[in-house]
Amino acid sequence: MTPRCSWMWRRARCMLLGRSRSAATGRCLGAERTLTSTSHPPKICIVGSGPAGFYTAQHLLKHTQAVVDIYEKLPVPFGLVRFGVAPDHPEVKNVINTFTQTAHSERCCFIGNVTVGRDVTVEELRKAYDAIVLSYGAEDKRELEIPGEELPGVYSARDFVGWYNGLPDNRHLSPDLGSETAVILGQGNVALDIARILLSPLELLKKTDITQSALEAISHSRVKRVWLIGRRGPLQVAFTIKELREMIHLPGTRPINDPSDFYGLGDIVKDLPRPRKRLTELLVKSALEKPKERDCSHLAQSDREWGLRFFRKPVAVLLSEDGKRAAGVRLSVTRLEGVGDTAVAVPTGQVEEIRCGLILSSIGYKSVPISPVVPFRPNKGVIPNSMGRVQGTPGLYCSGWVKRGPTGVITTTMADSFDTAQALLEDIKSGALPLSEPRPGSSAIRELLLLRGIQTVSFSDWEKIDAVEVARGAEVGKPREKISDSEEMMRLICR
């Protein structure tokens, strides 16, 4: 059988047998022919199969007779739900069940292992579809732009999270966990996720879908202390109360925050918005209140610790004595000008240093341009748009992080994606998105990909991978053992 896994054979077999769902496309071929011959439903392409892509598809399929194709560069779907959500947060991943229902719709088709911009261009997609929604997320990391950030021992949060979550691009990261102190530059949810994974008891991690290679590395980790550095103060932290509460109650670990950072905040709390108020109250309580008697013994027995360091901005990574790797970070002491979320950190002229062997930069993700024909604002890392309509480009839309920037949680992305889908539906209804003639959709794109030697992956193919992962996980008491090698994934669906 050819390396393309006999896609054409599968298609021909499906058509001969009159199957309602094609193994090659994952979509109802007969229904598509009937619809297009009678009512010309719009054919819509979504680029990216993360939460933004699937929520956009879900809304479109619910409110129109559209045929929706979801393209994904990896052989597996779900984006940050699979590769970004912490292994010990399985409840957040339950949204995959909803996405799976969407993918099983007769009018929806998942087409994996296709990189838009390389394997097929945006221009080619525009010729094949009535509309395109760009939902490919934030695929890159923000740079620290300080001396020494390229040294061994310095990692981006994006790469580190990808490593323990099985992202193929990061499977060979092999971070050095041989020092007792780790520094995380950033105070958002991702920073707390990383701190929690570094400090969690192995007994807890063994029950999650963390990759086996990461679990093995963490089992030999010497990290006992994690500092989370922020350039501003307690009122500007970017994490949520759920993640903070998890860190405070993490078994075998104690917080070591400086009480002086929280003096006077009690008088300010009452005027804060409710989410910020509850978060700040918990910060103040954990830093200033004496622990109860039953908690004292727990804290005394804890052999790991973590803390928030405020009003500090990294200015350089320190070099080890042998000149081969990172040995610490130099911080500029800051003060705030302004109040609340708009407060700006300015240097005071003072500096201090923290010695450590592991530095993780968690200062945010960023999107990258996908095509010269798609407008892009590199300073903000977003596609300029109005309610998801790409400016100056009729028929082109965007949703998720590439639309609004890398902020918010999955529910934020859901609302944002529904807005984009609704804007597209309104354009169809008003005639702003003309449907003058039927478009070929995926049939034309598949022919191009076949000619270019690109083997596509259907949702049924993904379900083969999924079954293997779940089976491997069951053997060791985990929900799944992720396959992080794309080539192994492709071999599984071809056998």
Please list the active-site residues.
Answer: 89, 193, 410-411
Lookup: tokens for 475: 């053997």
By DSSP bridging, strand 344-355 and strand 326-337 are antiparallel
Q: Do 73 and 114 touch, CB atoms closer than 8 A?
A: yes
Cα separation, 463 vs 15, in Å, equals: 21
The CA distances from residue 386 to 122, 427, 465, in Å, are 20, 13, 38
Q: What is the dihedral of CA 349, 352, 353, 358, to 10 degrees?
A: -70
Tell me the residue ranges of DSSP E strands in 440-489: none
- Give me the amino acid identity at 154: V
Cα separation, 80 vs 433, in Å, equals: 31
Q: Do 233 and 336 touch, CB atoms closer than 8 A?
A: yes
By DSSP bridging, strand 304-309 and strand 253-255 are parallel
SS3 letters across 186-231: CCCHHHHHHHHHHHCCHHHHCCCCCCHHHHHHHHCCCCCEEEEECC
Q: Do 400 and 413 touch, CB atoms closer than 8 A?
A: yes
Cα separation, 22 vs 220, in Å, equals: 47
Closest by CA position to 353, among listed 330, 332, 373: 330
Cα separation, 177 vs 164, in Å, equals: 13
Q: Do 404 and 134 touch, CB atoms closer than 8 A?
A: no
Cα separation, 86 vs 371, in Å, equals: 31
* DSSP labels, 25-87: TSS-HHHHHHHHHHT---EEEEE--SHHHHHHHHHHHHHS--EEEEE-SSSS--HHHHHTS-T
